Chain A
Amino acid sequence: MSHQTIELKNVSKTYMRDSLEIPVLSNISLTVPEGEFLALMGPSGSGKTTLLNLIAGIDRPDKKGSNRNPYVNQIIVHGTDLGTLGESALAAWRSRHMGFIFQFYNLLPVLTAYENVELPLLLTKLSRKEKREHVEAALNLVGLADRMQHYPKQLSGGQEQRVAIARAVVSDPTIIVADEPTGDLDKVSAAEIMTLLERLKSEYKKTIVMVTHDPRAAEKAHKVMHLEKGELSS
């Protein structure tokens, strides 16, 4: 296996809106080495989130190209060609390898912080005790061990995002994808979140791909790439 954790080969993505074809990404090739913290920047509608979704395995690129070039529209993440996985297998793959951080945190409002963080572990075979240990460790990492029994609405935005980060790391995934993680936060909270992401990279050797508008957030990343009109540039 290569040390490239993420490899995209000539990936295109076109959306159909009614009968209209809207190209979002065209012929993108990208490699992200293991342990890298990559920031994707670009104007709205440039396809950043679509690219992130493709890497995360929640969206699919256009159909494979002609036989002449079988490497078109291929996405290999952590050694797995995502195009070969069926839907259920892809779901199982996501639960093992992907941690998700969303702009609006996407915590389930009816579950406590503890239960939200525990969610990804429900897909594992860990014992109840092991699950508890993992959840507590993850919440400790984000500094919210004392808020375990709080519901999302009892937390501030920054705290909610920290719970979401705990949820993203609790199952120890290889890669973390973050879509505008500071987009809904004030400066202080945003800085806290970025410090956390940096720690995940440096201390826990996670590969992180982050989409952001925020130049301050991008500064924390080790590599910044720009996406414009569906094309990628460093």
Chain B
Amino acid sequence: MRIPLIYSIRNLLTRKLTAFLTILGIALVVFVFSAVLMLAYGVKRTLVATGYEENVIMLRKGSDNELPSNFPRDIANLVRTLPQIATGQNGKPIASNEVVTIINLLKIGTNDMGNVTVRGVSPEAMELRPAVQLTEGRMFAFGSREVIVGSSINSRFRGAKLGQTLKIGGDEWRIAGIFEADGSGFESEVWGDAEQVMQTLNRLSTFSSMTVRLNHKGDFDALQDAMDRDRRFQQIRIEREKEYYERQSQLMATFIRILGLVVTIIFSAGAMIGAMITMYASVANRTVEIGTLRALGFKRRSVLATFLLESIFLSLVGGLVGLLIASGLQFFTISTINFGTVAELAFSFSLSLDIALWALAFSVIMGVIGGFLPAARAARLDIVTALRAS
């Protein structure tokens, strides 16, 4: 019963310029839409990748992140005795007492200062986070004023090259090595010896947090139970490292998503009006054809479907083009302040199947909304009047 799709497609091809402009409008909107979602997803992925399933981060209760948290040394020693914590090759528990602070560095190519996270770690930190791999130089020496620098910091900030020195807490720290960490948030950090960092910050008794490796990732509840039973741990809150970082991404990702979606919706109104004008013109140009089809016995709903499909086809092509351009953004890395930690975080636009499907669904919705009124007009045409138009 349906008017062949080829009829719609060939009609679009006869109006190449208007079809092209309409597709372009929709492609732009879908591009922005996808880019925003890809950005939000990129933030989330970077931070989620930062955490490990088997790792547990411990903070002082009431602290949302490591920066304001205080973690007493005696509690840290006590945690190391818990049986749920994995033992490393050297026979010691895999646990890192960490102290986190922020320093300011100048960004390359600008006069802007950026906040950079400095993380003081214990010797077990490398075993705790196997993704952290040195690409240049060597590991810093514990007990010395040396650091290793994440690759994002290395490439974005002045004075963060191998052999240069950074100023932390008034002291000069030599850069002994550069590391990568599978694109995770650690690449936006500077690591040094926790004890040395504490000294330079005059922060002798408390770390910021502690991260431990579980024997098995299912041991989380057992660890929670053990710590709940012991009054000495009552000021401590534990969380899976992955969930912790995911939470850190939420504020930022949600902000990007909402801001982006508001912008996109405003844009999309423009694109839909564009599609509508194109389709109204198309209906007006083909009034006699519509009358003829109806006379031959095609029903109103076939005419409606034909014009609606034409509009959907237009916007779907636009959607695919927009998505294709947006997928190119994956090669770009951008850096901004993460609201959760107020430190600079480098991340990439990241495309997922979900985002692609949402983008295409969004383009189809634009096609349906933009095409409906013109299609309804076409379907409502009176046969005799339509045949008489020429």
Which residues of A are at the interface with B, using a C-beta cutoff of 8 A? 53, 56, 58-59, 87-88, 91-96, 98, 100, 102, 104, 106, 108-111, 115, 119-120, 122-123, 167
| Complex Cα gap A59–B7 (Å) | 26
Q: Are A111 and B7 in contact (CB under 8 A)?
A: yes
Q: Are A91 and B297 in contact (CB under 8 A)?
A: yes
**Interface residue B1 (Cβ < 8 Å from any Cβ of A):** yes
Give every chain A residue within 8 A of B14 (Cβ-Cβ).
109-110
| Complex Cα gap A53–B6 (Å) | 29
Name A100's contact: one of B2, B289, B296, B300 (CB within 8 Å).
Answer: B296
| Complex Cα gap A104–B390 (Å) | 10
Name the distance in Å between B285's Cβ and chain A's nearest Cβ: 10
Q: Are B10 and A111 in contact (CB under 8 A)?
A: yes
**Interface residue B170 (Cβ < 8 Å from any Cβ of A):** no
9 pairs across A/B with beta carbons < 8 Å? A56-B295, A58-B384, A92-B297, A95-B296, A98-B295, A102-B292, A115-B6, A120-B296, A167-B296
A106-B288, A106-B289, A110-B7 in contact; A123/B383 too (CB < 8 A)?
no
- Apart from A108-B289, A167-B296, what are 8 other A-B pairs with CB-CB below 8 Å? A56-B295, A100-B292, A104-B390, A108-B292, A109-B14, A110-B13, A111-B6, A122-B1
Which residues of B are at the interface with A, using a C-beta cutoff of 8 A? 1-4, 6-7, 10-11, 13-14, 288-289, 291-300, 383-384, 387, 390
Q: Are B10 and A110 in contact (CB under 8 A)?
A: yes
A110-B7, A115-B4 in contact; A59/B384 too (CB < 8 A)?
yes
| Complex Cα gap A109–B13 (Å) | 12
Q: Are B387 and A102 in contact (CB under 8 A)?
A: yes
Secondary structure call for the A interface: helix
CB-based closest 10 A-B pairs: A95-B297, A110-B10, A106-B292, A58-B383, A94-B297, A59-B384, A91-B299, A91-B297, A123-B297, A58-B295
Q: Are B294 and A58 in contact (CB under 8 A)?
A: yes
Give every chain A residue within 8 A of B384 (Cβ-Cβ).
53, 58-59
Name the distance in Å between A72's Cβ and chain B's nearest Cβ: 21
Name B2's contact: one of A53, A93, A110, A122 (CB within 8 Å).
Answer: A122
Give every chain A residue within 8 A of B289 (Cβ-Cβ).
106, 108-109
| Complex Cα gap A102–B390 (Å) | 13
A58-B383, A122-B1 in contact; A91/B294 too (CB < 8 A)?
yes
Name the distance in Å between B13's Cβ and chain A's nearest Cβ: 8
Name the distance in Å between B278's Cβ and chain A's nearest Cβ: 16
| Complex Cα gap A120–B296 (Å) | 6
Give every chain A residue within 8 A of B298 (Cβ-Cβ).
91, 95, 123
| Complex Cα gap A95–B296 (Å) | 6
Name A119's contact: one of B296, B299, B300 (CB within 8 Å).
Answer: B296
| Complex Cα gap A58–B384 (Å) | 7
| Complex Cα gap A58–B291 (Å) | 10
Give every chain B residue within 8 A of A93 (Cβ-Cβ).
297
Name A94's contact: one of B4, B7, B11, B295 (CB within 8 Å).
Answer: B295
Name the distance in Å between B288's Cβ and chain A's nearest Cβ: 6
Q: Are A94 and B292 in contact (CB under 8 A)?
A: no
| Complex Cα gap A143–B10 (Å) | 27
| Complex Cα gap A71–B1 (Å) | 34
Give every chain B residue within 8 A of A91 (Cβ-Cβ).
294, 297-299
| Complex Cα gap A96–B297 (Å) | 8
